[in-house]
Amino acid sequence: MDPLSDILSLLKPRSYGCGGFDMGDIAIHFPRHEGIKCYAVISGQAWLLMDGVTDPVHLKTGDCFVLPRGLPFCLTSDPALPPVDYRTAIANRPAGTVASINGGGKCLIIGGHFALDGRHAGILLGVLSPIVHLSVESDKATLRWALDRMMQELREPQPGGLLVIEHLAQMVLVQALRLHIAAGQAGHVGWLFALADKQIGPTIGAMHADPAQRWTLQSLAERAAMSRTSFALRFKATVGMPPMEYLTRWRMMVAGDRLTNSRDPISTIARSLGYDSESAFSTAFKRVMHCSPRQYGRGQTLSASAPVERETARASAMAPDQESRSSSISDSPRASARYREA
């Protein structure tokens, strides 16, 4: 698989549900949410206001927007209107339907709400903006078929329709991330945007394809057709961490998934990721994941007083932070609720 598919497979996005609403003159307030919300404007226009984001976003027909940070937000036909809680505006709406709110007619929106694996969610969410707004006409055209099909399934329910809608919503989410990568590579830092870099992207792909390989800074630089120094500087500037640290962190994310979802012994997982000894693997795992492999596999915390800290550390394992920037780049393994609202 490619790196984006690799990471999404670890995140295991699953849909809380999909549906839509046809707004009249109203402002609907949505509280803080877990996971990712992905919407598309089928017709009309509206305004999106979000806590912590200064300027309202004007949404027009065909626009798509992704809300990955879980911040409270408001969708409204007029920013001056007082907001109404979504539970009041969209009371008792069945899953997979379009609700008419306050007479409808101003803006028709459909979308999905995705939960992610809580242990790894920070891999993706940590590199995305609070609002990912796709409004370029050529971008919208690539999403139109899936959106039209979703709308047809909602308007003309058929057997298996909810499953079709959920798969289409996942297609829209992946396509939105692709377009965000293509549009945001200049000036953005993080593995997601680095995938679009013609020299750095292939080296990330190589590390993902064969994490057990004896990768060195020199061998990765050769793949990028760059000198070691230029490659190291470019990789860190683009991804947000040194290349060998990214490799170690990716190995640990793969290990964490196998510890949770397979019965493979730790020694087997260690060898499959290029570690000659279980102790070397365990040392690297604990440094990145902030707990031992056995504790991670059993879902245990390091101590009763630190569950939140451990979960936060897990979630941010691939997101550049102060700790990652200060870590060594030479860590070699060969050395020692079903449906709520759309």
Domain C-terminal end among 184, 200, 233: 184
Q: What is the pLDDT of residue 316?
A: 45
What confidence tier does 109 reach under pLDDT thresholds 50, 70, 90? very high
Residues 120 and 204 in one domain: no
What is the average per-residue pLDDT within 305-318?
A: 39
Residues 76 and 195 in one domain: no
pTM > 0.75: yes or no:
no
Residues 41 and 126 in one domain: yes
> What is the phi/psi pair of residue 237, to 5°?
-65, -30
Q: How many helices (H) and strands (E) does the chain have?
A: 15, 11
Is 340 contained in some domain? no
Question: Residue 220 corresponds to which amino acid?
Answer: L
Is 164 contained in some domain? yes
What confidence tier does 212 reach under pLDDT thresholds 50, 70, 90? very high
Is 339 contained in some domain? no
> For all residues of the chain together, what is the average pLDDT?
80
Sign of CA dihedral 107, 116, 205, 243: positive
Domain C-terminal end among 167, 184, 201: 184
Q: How remote is the C-alpha of 35 from its chain's centroid?
A: 8
What is the average per-residue pLDDT within 253-264?
A: 90
pLDDT exceeds cutoff 70 at 286: yes
Residues 276 and 174 in one domain: no
pLDDT exceeds cutoff 80 at 304: no
Query: CA-to-CA distance for 333 and 330, rounded, in angstroms?
Result: 9
Residues 116 and 246 in one domain: no
What is the average per-residue pLDDT within 62-87?
A: 91
Residues 138 and 222 in one domain: no
Q: What is the pLDDT of residue 302?
A: 39
Residues 178 and 209 in one domain: no
Query: CA-to-CA distance for 215 and 121, rounded, in angstroms?
Result: 26
pLDDT exceeds cutoff 80 at 222: yes
Is 337 contained in some domain? no
Could you tell me the CATH number of the domain that includes residue 286? 1.10.10.60
pLDDT exceeds cutoff 50 at 3: yes
Give DSSP secondary structure letters for 292-306.
-HHHHHHT--SSTT-
Residues 250 and 179 in one domain: no
Residues 24 and 110 in one domain: yes
Query: For the chain, how many structural domains are there in total?
Result: 2
Is 42 contained in some domain? yes
What confidence tier does 312 reach under pLDDT thresholds 50, 70, 90? very low
What is the average per-residue pLDDT within 261-273?
A: 93
Could you tell me the CATH number of the domain that includes residue 41? 2.60.120.280
Q: What is the pLDDT of residue 11?
A: 76
What confidence tier does 244 reach under pLDDT thresholds 50, 70, 90? very high
Residues 62 and 204 in one domain: no
Give DSSP secondary structure letters for 8-35.
HHHH--EEEEEEEEEE-S-EEEE---SS
> Are 281 and 273 within 8 A, CB to CB?
yes
> Are 38 and 174 within 8 A, CB to CB?
no
Q: Which of 8-22, 155-169, 199-213 has the lowest mean pLDDT?
A: 8-22
Q: Which of 116-125, 261-270, 325-334 has the lowest mean pLDDT?
A: 325-334
What confidence tier does 81 reach under pLDDT thresholds 50, 70, 90? very high
pLDDT exceeds cutoff 90 at 25: yes
Q: What is the pLDDT of residue 133?
A: 87
Question: Residue 156 corresponds to which amino acid?
Answer: E
Q: What is the pLDDT of residue 83?
A: 94
What confidence tier does 6 reach under pLDDT thresholds 50, 70, 90? confident
Domain C-terminal end among 152, 184, 216: 184
pLDDT exceeds cutoff 80 at 255: yes
Could you list the residue range(s) of the whole structural domain that residue 180 is in? Answer: 3-184
Residues 99 and 195 in one domain: no
Query: CA-to-CA distance for 336 and 123, rounded, in angstroms?
Result: 27
What is the average per-residue pLDDT within 289-305?
A: 69
Query: Could you read off the pLDDT of 124-163 as tens digits, one per residue?
Result: 777 778 888 888 777 777 777 877 787 788 778 889 887 8
Is 332 contained in some domain? no
